[in-house]
Amino acid sequence: MYAVLGDVEFQLITYFDGLKATSATNFAQHDVIEGKPRLQLMGDALDEVTIELSFHHFFCEPEVELKKLQEARLKHEALPFVYGSGVIVGRFVIEKIEVTHQKTDQLGTLQSISASLSLKEFVEDDPLTAKKSKQKENAPARKSKNKPGKKQPVTAKKSSTTRTETNRDGVSFTKIDEVRN
């Protein structure tokens, strides 16, 4: 296995034709009067990976393999991209799939397909915070909250009384006593 994207495995002998990775840095350009523009670092751009694939009927069923890729793209999810050596490249979304039908038989059955798979890096602001907020959203108590037909718990109303007291140093203060109804 050369690499894995989510559940999709890329075999070096049967599918893989090449990989192109792009990393970049973004700079803003500020024009100035009578001088050259100035650059300001904005930060790193999202990494992009393009994988060139070949599906041939001698090694696989081209239509089935293409369908796997399309299903992964249509999930609109960030998928882990890992090389066969175990190196984790990161989480990527499938941005685009370009397909070229290269060979068919007399009946139109695909025998050979080449595909270009464009991936874009997916970055969460803070993975731990994102995970916690997702857990909160999916919590059972939140799902039943304010739905029609559900009884809301009755809570006791609180009321309070205040009184002014003086401590032994002669300082006056207001004391609030809470009373449950």
Contact 26, 42 (CB under 8 A): yes
28 contacts 18 by C-beta, under 8 angstroms: no
Kindly state the average pLDDT of the residues 61-68: 88
Q: Compute how many other C-beta atoms are within 10 angstroms of the C-beta atom of residue 160.
A: 8
Asked whether the whole model's pTM tops 0.85, one would answer: no
Output the CA–CA distances (angstroms, integers) from residue 168 to 164, 171, 172, 173, in the order listed: 14, 7, 10, 12
pLDDT value for 127: 64
Q: Report pLDDT digits (tens) over 20-34.
A: 999 999 999 999 999
Share of the chain above pLDDT 90, in %: 36
Residue 149 has pLDDT above 90, yes or no: no
The span from the CA of 157 to the CA of 63, in Å, is 65
